[in-house]
Amino acid sequence: MKLKNSLSVISFFFFLILSGPHFLSAQNDAWGTLSMVEIEKKFQPEFGMEVMIPTVSPLTMALNGKVIEVEGYYIALTAKTAQSHFMLSRYPQSMCFFCGKAGPESAMQVFMKDNIKVPYTEEKITVKGVLSINPTNPNELLYTLTDAVLIKK
């Protein structure tokens, strides 16, 4: 019986992975899947400090190179104006990764398709684009969304 249940769970996850870009939409909470990461702090001599090293789950890694839709808070990289490259956070700016209150799996950089500028807002927005996952380079963010389009502001 345990084997049958295990096979059912595995089959379900493969179905979700193979069902394409519609699986991970803002309504289905893309952040829930993106948060399937274990974080370990390790001292890095080249930085002279502890750095968060992620271990990304296989389910999350299966999204690498896939189109996803994700809802989050716009974190401006410069002045709070329209930008084509910005951060998207699962949490408001006061609780975001860059403020030290969340992990690296809760933020991503976004590059808009055709350099379309998105006006700054404190409300949640929804973007759709190609996800790239970087589990190895601590100099860069864990997640990047490219060729993004604004779905909802």
Count of domains observed in the chain: 1
CATH code of residue 71: 2.40.50
**31 assigned to some structural domain:** yes
**107 assigned to some structural domain:** yes
What is residue 68's predicted lDDT score, i.e. its pLDDT?
97
Is residue 28's pLDDT more than 80? no
- Better pLDDT: 10 or 54: 54
**127 assigned to some structural domain:** yes
Of the pLDDT bands very low, low, confident and very high (cuts 50, 70, 90), residue 94 is: low
- Range(s) of the domain holding residue 30: 21-152
**7 assigned to some structural domain:** no
**6 assigned to some structural domain:** no
What is residue 95's predicted lDDT score, i.e. its pLDDT?
57
What is residue 6's predicted lDDT score, i.e. its pLDDT?
44
On average, the pLDDT of the chain sits at 81
**59 assigned to some structural domain:** yes
Q: What is the rounded average pLDDT of the residues 93-99?
A: 60
Percent of the chain with pLDDT over 90: 48
What is residue 100's predicted lDDT score, i.e. its pLDDT?
60
Of the pLDDT bands very low, low, confident and very high (cuts 50, 70, 90), residue 99 is: low
**3 assigned to some structural domain:** no
**115 assigned to some structural domain:** yes
Q: Are strands 143-152 and 85-89 parallel, antiparallel or unpaired?
A: unpaired
Global confidence as pTM: 0.75
